[in-house]
């Protein structure tokens, strides 16, 4: 009975470790990080955070990926364009939010006008997301198939190192949990 409990405990801990590492958002070049992973401050990562995380990963590993000067220039230009677009869209969203507040503060609220402002605000938010998705597609198009494979391999290796504690000497699972063999 005690042995069965120990095995069950070990399997449960292993599953918890694997599942938490698999969804940690470590590798920006894999699947989308939007479903339940958190970024800075514990909030969910949005498309913008995911895009810039990909850019940071690529730039910090550009030599290993094998990027040439032309590719680096395209990535830099794309990053600049996305930042500029985000600033412009965020300003538009903020202005529309102020307009909505102002319209709601009047004695006679024009429901149609407020609804129109709300529609415009969310249309700008939708366009912002669509622009970032397009930028992600454009970013991927910069790389050769071989470079894309290198990035995926690098992400997998980094995730594997994080899951298994890096380059450390592997210990038997029971010993690592403070348990001794009897």
pTM score over 0.85: no
**Burial of 150 per CB tally in 10 Å (0-12, 13-18, 19+):** middle
Mean pLDDT of the chain: 78
Higher confidence at residue 134 or residue 179?
134
Pick the residue with more confidence: 34 or 77?
77
Instruction: Please give the average per-residue pLDDT across 3-32, as a whole number.
Output: 48
Q: Tell me: the pLDDT tens digits for 2-14?
A: 665 554 555 454 4
Q: Is residue 162 part of a domain?
A: yes
Instruction: Provide the CA 173 distance to its chain's centre, in angstroms.
Output: 31
Tell me the C-alpha distance between 111 and 102, whole Å.
Answer: 13
Q: Which residues contact 59 (CB under 8 A, 6 or more apart)?
A: 72, 75
Q: 71-89, pLDDT tens digit by residue?
A: 999 999 999 999 999 999 9
Q: Is residue 27 part of a domain?
A: no
**Any domain includes 22:** no
The structural domain count of the chain equals 1
- Residue 35 covered by a domain: no
Residue 11 sits at the vertex; the CA angle it makes with 170 and 167, to the nearest 5 degrees, is 20
Evaluate whether residue 95 is within a structural domain: yes
Domain membership of residue 21 (yes or no) is: no
Q: Which domain holds residue 49?
A: 2-13+44-176
């Amino acid at each position: 009975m005690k042995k069965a409990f120990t095995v069950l405990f070990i399997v449960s801990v292993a599953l918890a470790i694997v599942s938490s590492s698999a969804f940690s958002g470590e590798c920006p070049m894999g699947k989308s990080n939007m479903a339940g992973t958190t970024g800075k401050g514990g909030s969910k990562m949005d498309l913008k955070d995911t895009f810039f995380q990909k850019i940071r990963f690529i730039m910090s590993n550009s030599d290993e990926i094998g990027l040439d000067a032309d590719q680096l220039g395209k990535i830099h230009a794309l990053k600049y364009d996305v930042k500029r677009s985000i600033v412009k869209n965020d300003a538009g969203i903020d202005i529309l939010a102020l307009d909505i507040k102002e319209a709601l503060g009047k004695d006679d609220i024009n429901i149609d006008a407020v609804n129109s402002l709300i529609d415009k605000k969310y249309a700008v938010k939708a366009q912002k997301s669509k622009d970032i998705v397009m930028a992600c597609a454009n970013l991927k198009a910069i790389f050769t198939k071989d470079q894309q494979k290198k990035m995926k391999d690098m992400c997998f290796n980094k995730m594997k190192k994080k899951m298994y504690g890096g380059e450390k000497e592997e210990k038997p699972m029971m010993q690592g949990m403070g348990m001794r063999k009897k």
